[in-house]
Structure 1
Amino acid sequence: MTLVEVMVAMFVFAIISTLVLSSLLQIVSLTQHSRSQHAAANLAAAEIELALDTPDLFALLNETRDVTVNGTTFHVNRETAWVSDAGGVASCGGGGGSLRFKRVHVTVTWDGMRDSAEPVRSDTIINPAERINDPSKGTVLVSVIDSLGEGVSGASVRLAATSGGATIPAVTTDAQGCAYFLQVPTGTYDVSVSKTGYTGILVETPQQRDVSVQAGSSTTIGLQYDLAARFDITFAAGTTVRMPSSMPLSLLSTYGVRTITLPSANARQTIATHPRVSYRVAAGPFQQASGAECAAIDPTSWLEGTVGGEQLGPGAAPELSAEPGATAALDVPMGLVRVPNGITSLRAHSTTGRAEDPTCDATIQLSYSNVQRNDVIAVPFGTWRFTTAGGSSVSVELVSRGATVSSNTVTLDPREVAP
């Protein structure tokens, strides 16, 4: 055999060997994929069997876990949802009507899956072993979610009867943030939620009032609740001031107004707020219990204009948000007034200001204790009249931007001179 023939034979042998090896590798890969797919199918079936054996359907929740079989890690994901007699599927079974059965959907994937491979899926529905609805009573389904829409577990949900009804024990939300009140006597209830360190958007304890429970019907309630963030607030930064006692603080957002009464008269305080909500913070009560508003305390209510020959730009208020459990620093401006004489009990009363200024639809009164001679006091923006506790006039001097109306009345203006 010539050298050329030898080289040709070796080349042919190499090609054949490569093709055989490639075929063998493909066979091995197909075998491995087939084994993994078979194992995944067994895991999905086992998960369905576990779900069917669950004694309490309310404890059957969403879950993801990893299982290793023959060195391969499989990811078993179980999703559950209540289905009502109206055919609705929603969070905590709130699809309307009475709860009928629970739907279970299982998906299994594994490490090293082919890009073109489909997960193994399995589904079932589970009927309750005993009746969970009473035709003479109602059902209340409560969903508690955080600022990302995830369920809040471990929160205590209460139903308080306000008309008819009965005393109902509190229920703790499950891992999906759901609380189920079954066979509730008909009547009207207030629904509230609580958990240490958590807060609502507009109030610390979210609630829904006057929830009507009817015979044979299901009522769904949604409440937003989250681990509180904190604002570390400095009032009238850069100045030594006296603050009013128990001053209301307004947090304005797209959701509405939240009013917090400050616990002390310190110029620096920390308050709890709902996370991931942008609040515009203003000293004083923007909204009264009667629904009246005091727009004057909000700097953004003061529009651009010419006042006393000066061109003033629009007022601006700080706006801030923080993550759950985090603390953010914030300076909140206020108007400043000097009190020439010491006053044991000083009162500041909101009053009507200039025609072009924002107004207060209700009278606000703030109290200052043991004001010393020439003390500078911090006051929300707007027009204020100062008196003793007995009603006698108290003369004051304007320190910050604004106008003196009379010896005991000033307008505190948050606007700056426009460039």
Structure 2
Amino acid sequence: MHTKGEQSADEGFTLVEVIVASAIFLAIGTAVTAALMVALRTAATNEGRVQAANLAARQIDLVRSGDVSALAGTTYDVQRGSLRYRVTQTVDSQTVDVGGSACDGASGAEAVKRVTVIVTWDGMGDATPVRSDTYRTLPVTGSSATKGTLTYKVVDRNGTPAAGAPIALRKGGTLVKTSTTRADGCVVFSNLDAGTDYTGTLTQAGFVNNQHLASVSKANVVVARTVTKDPGFVWDGAALLTVSASAPAGYPVPSNVPLSLFNSNLTSGSLTLPGCGNTPCASLSTTASGATWTARGLFPFASTYQLSSGACGTACTRAQTSVQATPGQTTVAAAPAFGGVAATAGTLVSGVLGSNAVRTLTATNADLTSERYTFPTATGGDGTPAKMALPPGRWYIAQNPGETNDAYRVLVTVQPGQTYSVAVLAR
């Protein structure tokens, strides 16, 4: 019999002790299993890399021992145990000015062929492919008296090589080859007929060049035994801008107001976007409170665009706002607000502007006379003014569209969000 305070030796563990012990064993087991899995993956990766390195070395040996004039790109698969390996060989003809890319440096006589061998394997995950490079020197006379090489380079808005850009090569309008740029932004067309004019065309859905063109072509005459290196293309995902501008209540926005963009990288420094149907373009929608443009097909320059409503020309003095376009993305921005002009037309009475007349008036940009808008309603004989929203800037309000006589027109300097009342002398 147990005395008070004694504990039986066979009472066992409490439930709490069992749960704690199980949790400890589970944590230890999980950690061991994770470490084992990591070790197995590391071993598999190392084994795959060893086999890939052997295959790359074997291919490089074949390149070094073979006929340099017969070197060409190739891809083939090799099975080693449970893994399948893919061996990819590319061959670039290069000038004596050998750089990191076949597209770098100046055009010149073929001097060497650079061979790159890349080996990948099934289940490699995020492991780095095995790569080996070697150079083969060409004879002094070059590789062929009747053939030449043409390269194109593609970079994005930051000058970074753009991979995966498709280039189609045509001879006399006939498609002869297609290829995509590699990681270095370079595409190489070899074994081309010398003395022939070839055209490389870059077209890629959703992309434009730095002049907003969705398809760009470059023509080159291939020279025998020469690597002709075209400077190539500046190419990036087309940007889309949604730009809005408010207007004073009761002042309707004209239905044909364009959107102006300014950037120092543009050929003319400015770009006026008409209605869609062109590339790039801007579709306009108007409401009682303002206007919204949807601008498509824009090159996303690294520097900002300056925005202005209306056709502002190259030397724009209107209020502008800045926006940063993003490759392949939509950016929302606000342009400076419209101003509002309320105009009436009067007649001369005893040498002064007197009773109102029913007239249709126009607003003409004082700094760019090709921009002109007609007030949507006529002025009333009872003095009711015609109202219209106008982009910020200097505007001549007149009855006749081409009026140049200051006696029959009024100059209004419209500021964002402001309204103005004017009386115009009618002829």
TM norm structure 2: 0.56
How many pairs are equivalent?
328
Contact in 2 for aligned 1:201/1:258 (Cα 8 Å) = no
Q: Partner of 1:268 in structure 2?
A: 292
Query: Over aligned residue pairs, what C-alpha RMSD do you find?
Result: 5.4
Q: Which residue of 1 aligns with 2:372?
A: 367
Cα distance in 2, alignment partners of residues 388 and 262 from structure 1: 26
Q: Corresponding residue for 2:13?
A: none
Instruction: Give, in angstroms, the shift of residue 252 of structure 1.
Output: 1.8
Q: What is the identity, as a one-letter code, of the residue corresponding to 2:370? A: Q
294, 298, 311: which one aligns with 2:315: 294
Q: 2:334 maps to what in 1?
A: 331
Kindly report which structure 2 residues correspond to 1:296-311, keeping only aligned pairs within 5 A, or say none: 296-297=317-318, 299=320
Equivalences for 1:101-120 in 2 at 5 Å?
Answer: 101-106=113-118
Do the aligned residues in 1 keep the contact of 2:241 with 2:294 (CA within 8 Å)? yes
Measured in 1, the distance between the counterparts of 2:319 and 2:247 equals: 17
Over the matched positions of the two proteins, sequence identity in percent amounts to 17
Residue 212 to residue 397, structure 1, CA distance change in 2 (3 Å)? same
Change (3 A) 1:38 1:136: closer
> Per-residue CA shift, 1:195-228, capped at 9, x if unaligned?
332112333347588x774855524222111221
Letter in 1 for 2:180: D
The 1-side partners of 2:339 and 2:307 are apart by: 18
Aligned residue number for residue 174 of structure 1 = 180
Q: C-alpha separation between the residues in 2 aligned to 1:102 and 1:321?
A: 39
Q: Distance in 2 between matches of 1:386 and 1:57?
A: 74
Relative to structure 1, is the Cα distance of residues 136 and 371 closer, same or farther in structure 2, using a 3 angstrom cutoff?
farther
Match of 2:371, SS state, is strand
State how far apart, in whole Å, the 1-side matches of 2:362 and 2:170 are: 43
- Quick check: 1:41 aligned with 2:65? no
Match of residue 153 from structure 1: 165
Distance 1:152-1:322 versus aligned 2 partners, 3 A rule: same
How far did 1:83 drift?
3.8
Alignment map for 1:234-253 (pairs within 5 Å):
234-236=244-246, 241-243=252-254, 245=256, 247-252=258-263
CA distance in 1, matches of 2:71, 2:254: 56
Q: Which has the larger radius of gyration?
A: 2
Match of 2:211 among 192, 202, 212: 202
| 1:320-359 equivalent positions in 2, closer than 5 A | 320-324=324-328, 326-340=329-343, 346-351=362-367
Aligned residue among 395, 400, 414 for 1:384: 395
Distance 1:68 1:269, change over 3 A: farther
Return 5+ residue gaps in structure 2 as ranges: 1-38, 276-282, 286-290, 345-357, 379-385
The separation in 2 between residues aligned to 1:77 and 1:343, in whole angstroms, is: 80
C-alpha separation in 2, matches of 1:134 and 1:42: 33
The residue that corresponds to 1:84 in the other structure is 94
Q: Check if 1:280 corresponds to 2:306.
A: yes
| Structure 1, 33-42 or 140-149: larger mean CA deviation | 33-42
How many angstroms apart in 2 are the aligned matches of 1:319 and 1:344?
A: 37
DSSP-derived class of the 2:212 partner: coil
2:92–2:102 contact (8 Å) kept in structure 1:
yes
Q: Structure 1 residue 327: deviation in Å?
A: 1.3
Alignment match, 2:20:
none
Note closer, same or farther for the CA distance 1:179–1:38 as it changes in structure 2 (3 Å cut): closer
Query: Structure 1 residues 57 and 90, CA, compared in 2 at 3 Å: closer, same or farther?
Result: farther
Q: Is the 8 A contact 1:143 1:151 kept in 2?
A: no
CA distance in 2, matches of 1:35, 1:219: 41
Match of 2:108 in 1: 97
Distance apart, 1:330 and its partner CA: 1.0
CA distance in 2, matches of 1:132, 1:389: 73
Residue type at the aligned position of 2:292 = R
> Residues 52-67 of structure 1 correspond to what in structure 2 (within 5 A)?
none
Say whether the 8 Å CA contact 2:261–2:271 is kept in structure 1.
yes
Q: Distance in 2 between matches of 1:206 and 1:133?
A: 33
Give the SS at the match of 1:39: helix
Q: Report deviation, 1:153.
A: 2.5
Q: 2: CA distance between counterparts of 1:170 and 1:382?
A: 54
Provide the rounded CA distance (Å) in 2 between the counterparts of 1:157 and 1:385. 53
Q: 3-state DSSP class of the match of 1:365?
A: coil
1:114-165, CA deviations, whole angstroms, 9 ceiling, x for partnerless residues?
xxxx99764445799xx99876887542222334532243345679xxxxxx
Contact 2:342–2:419 (CA under 8 A) maintained in structure 1: no
SS of the equivalent of 1:245 reads: coil
Structure 1 gaps of 5+ residues are 1-27, 113-117, 160-165, 288-292, 300-316, 352-362, 409-419
- Find 1:223's aligned residue among 219, 227, 233: 233
Work out the CA distance in 2 between the residues paired with 1:265 and 1:389: 27
**Aligned equivalents of 2:359, 2:202: Cα separation in 1:** 44
Structure 1 counterpart of 2:339, which letter? L
Shift in Å, 1:285: 5.0
